[in-house]
Structures are given as structure tokens and as C-alpha cells.
Amino acid sequence: MSVYVDENDLAKKLKVSKRTLQGQRQRGVGIPYVKFGRLVRYNLDTVGYCLSKSERNSTSDIGEEGARNE
């Protein structure tokens, strides 16, 4: 069964502000989320997957996302 967290919990885990997550959602970037009525929730499995795709070995490494956009 998947575990979902709210934006406050995720912001604390990622050490970013809640407004950062809200801005990313508004722009259509960042970590995918689900809505249950008016409640925004993030699946922890999806969060882990998205973060792993963002990993880099050096500052010149464009990673998976960058490679697809070129």
C-alpha cells in the first residue's frame, strides 16, 4: 500500500518551503501529486523515484531529464 504525505511533511523532508512546492505545482514542474478533494498529497514512492532521476555525479552532468530535453 502506498504512503502519502501532505505538502507540509514533504517540505520538511526536502528542506524546502511549502511555497516552493506550491509554486512547482502551479508551474507544472516538480514532483507529481494527487488531490483528494481539496487536499494535496505526495506518494512517497513517487517522491523517491523523482529524486533518484535528479541525481547528478558532477555539475556538468545533465542527468536523465536534461538528456531527454536536448
Closest CA to 65 of 30, 14, 37, 18: 30
pTM for this model (two decimals): 0.77
9 within a domain of the structure (yes/no): yes
Q: Check residues 67 and 27 and name the one with the higher pLDDT.
A: 27
Please state the domain count of the chain.
1
What's the 3-state SS for the chain? CCCEEEHHHHHHHHCCCHHHHHHHHHHCCCCCCEEECCEEEEEHHHHHHHHHHCCCCCCCCCHHHHHHHC
Model pLDDT for residues 8-41, shown as the tens digit of each residue: 999 999 999 999 999 999 999 999 999 999 999 9
Give dist(CA 9, CA 41) in Å, integer.
Answer: 10
67 within a domain of the structure (yes/no): no
50 within a domain of the structure (yes/no): yes
Model pLDDT for residues 35-61, shown as the tens digit of each residue: 999 999 999 999 999 999 888 888 887
29 within a domain of the structure (yes/no): yes
24 within a domain of the structure (yes/no): yes
12 within a domain of the structure (yes/no): yes
21: domain range?
4-54
